[in-house]
Amino acid sequence: MMTHEEFTKRLLKDPKVQKEYEVLKEEFTLFDELLNARIRAGLTQAEVADRMRTKTPAIARLEAGGGNKKHSPSVSTLRKYAKAVGCHLEIKLVQKNSNMKTAHG
């Protein structure tokens, strides 16, 4: 059986898949972070749900991304999740292009 990583690498060889993946890469990174934080904390989705005072399916949707941009998690929800898994939320803006004008120039 192929691992998720092997499957992803195989799919990303297709230029069409790679293009679509790049569009959603930031979201995939967020959902990977959520899942990895929960695993590091040694918690199940049910335990995180209990700590957040919600239901297990809500945590499953949060970690899976829901597949719907209309339902992206709020900063408040991300803070609650972070607290539930023993973390704090950090949000950063990382400049992509050094040629970009600043707000003052």
Instruction: Report whether pLDDT(67) > 70.
Output: no
Interior angle at CA 102, CA 30 and CA 93, nearest 5: 10
List pLDDT tens digits, range 85-102. 999 999 988 888 766 565
pTM attached to this predicted model = 0.72
What are the extents of the domains in the chain?
A: 15-85
Answer yes or no: CATH 1.10.3720.10 is held by domain 15-85. Answer: no
Number of helical H runs and strand E runs in the chain: 5, 0
